[in-house]
């Protein structure tokens, strides 16, 4: 089985992605490193531990850094609930996080699974950037890096031009995209192109499994918000990224280009700038997912909810 390390800030869509990862027979989740992002670190760590408890999975959870590298950022509690999991007041998880810092865990696991590790980042890239600053040889040991982040034609979701995960910690994203020769990017525009009807999603949430019941509860608030805000389709950013990570053969269209992150910019800080015409002569460093097999994506979501 392919070892899979997930850096995440759960988060309602992170939770769905994690369920998909736990459900996959060809991958073994070897750790969850936790970022601040959707909500504060104390909540994202607790949510990760709770989700592991719901699926009865003993994977170690490592807490990361509680704030972006340079500038404070606003969280997304207004989307995910103030606790990041829909404010359902779940019982506290029994387990606690490991004492090792997330950045150190990333480095250690990269050695333990050198050349084989699939690294999937579903939140701001603070932990990964710190790991790279501690050890710049990290990319040599990573088989694939898949990042949910960016808005490749500058149709942002948190500002006009920027996507949340990159905008939350642009310096970290800059460090990561500069360090890896090839990052597989699932951006916000791909997410918007792979929605599915709320009605269909709600039918899957009726599956008689513990995880479907839990997910139904934690996602209710966000689903209501999404219906008001985005209409009839449900979009799950991190779930699409995870589908692509677990099953890259489902990708129908990918384009490789140079991409960097805008760090200044009065209106564009945190935007991902893709050199579509390769004007600047830099090497391609990202493989951007444009189109994914929608039926395969939806089947994975449905199966992850029904499992267990
Ligand atoms: C990303 O931002 C977060 O709110 C989601 O969990 C996802 O990772 C989408 O822009
Ligand atoms: Ca996320």
Per-residue pLDDT reduced to its tens digit, 61-81: 999 999 999 999 999 999 999
Which residues are marked as active site?
9
Please state, in angstroms and as integers, the Cα–Cα distance from residue 144 to each residue in 3, 29, 138, 159, 240, following that order: 11, 14, 12, 29, 16
Contact 229, 278 (CB under 8 A): no
Please state the rounded mean pLDDT for residues 278-284.
97
As for ligand 1, residues whose beta carbon falls within 6 Å of it are 11, 13-14, 38, 76, 122-123, 148, 157, 163-165, 188, 237-238
Please state the rounded mean pLDDT for residues 265-292.
97
Length of the chain equals 308
ipTM over 0.95: yes
User: Which residues have a beta carbon within 5 Å of ligand 2, which is an ion?
Assistant: 9, 11, 14, 122-123, 238
268 versus 308: the higher-pLDDT residue is 268
**Per residue in 153-175, pLDDT tens?**
999 999 999 999 999 999 999 99
Ligand 1 atom at minimum distance from 14 CA: 6
The confidence score (pLDDT) of residue 210 equals 97
Residue 230 clears pLDDT 90, i.e. is over it: no
Residue 105 clears pLDDT 90, i.e. is over it: yes
SS3 85: coil
Q: How confident is the model at residue 231 (pLDDT cuts 50, 70, 90)?
A: confident
Q: How confident is the model at residue 308 (pLDDT cuts 50, 70, 90)?
A: confident
Compute the distance between CA of residue 82 and CA of residue 162 in angstroms, rounded to an integer. 22
Distance from Cα 247 to the centre of ligand 2, integer Å = 19
- Average pLDDT over the chain, rounded to an integer: 97
Burial class (CB in 10 A: 0-12, 13-18, 19+), 87: middle
Residue 99 clears pLDDT 90, i.e. is over it: yes
Proportion of the chain above pLDDT 70, given as a percent: 100
Q: How confident is the model at residue 229 (pLDDT cuts 50, 70, 90)?
A: confident
């Amino acid at each position: 089985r392919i070892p899979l390390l997930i850096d995440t800030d759960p988060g309602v869509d992170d939770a769905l992605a994690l369920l998909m990862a736990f459900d996959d027979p060809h991958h073994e989740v070897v750790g969850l490193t936790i970022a601040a992002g959707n909500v504060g670190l104390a909540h994202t760590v607790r949510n990760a531990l709770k989700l592991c408890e719901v699926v009865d999975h003993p994977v170690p959870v490592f807490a990361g850094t509680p704030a972006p590298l340079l500038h404070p950022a606003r969280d997304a509690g207004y989307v995910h609930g103030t606790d990041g999991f829909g404010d359902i007041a779940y019982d506290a998880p029994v387990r606690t996080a490991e004492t090792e810092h997330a950045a150190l865990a990333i480095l250690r696991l990269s050695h333990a699974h050198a050349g084989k590790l699939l690294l999937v980042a579903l939140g701001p890239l603070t932990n990964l950037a710190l790991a790279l600053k501690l050890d710049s040889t990290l990319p040599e040991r990573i088989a694939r890096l898949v990042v949910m982040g960016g808005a490749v034609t500058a149709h942002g979701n948190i500002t006009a031009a920027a996507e949340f995960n990159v905008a939350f910690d642009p310096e970290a994203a800059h460090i990561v995209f500069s360090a890896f020769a090839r990052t597989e990017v699932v951006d916000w525009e791909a997410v918007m192109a792979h929605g599915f009807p709320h009605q269909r999603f709600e039918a899957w949430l009726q599956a008689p499994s513990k995880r479907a019941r839990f997910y139904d509860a934690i996602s209710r608030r966000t689903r209501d918000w999404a219906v008001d805000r985005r209409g009839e389709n449900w979009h799950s950013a991190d779930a699409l990224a995870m589908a692509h990570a677990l099953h890259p053969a489902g990708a129908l269209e990918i384009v490789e280009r140079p991409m960097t992150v805008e760090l200044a910019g009065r209106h564009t800080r945190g935007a991902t700038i893709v050199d579509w015409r390769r004007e600047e002569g830099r090497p391609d460093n990202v493989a951007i997912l444009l189109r994914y097999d929608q039926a395969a994506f939806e089947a994975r979501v449905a199966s992850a909810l029904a499992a267990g």
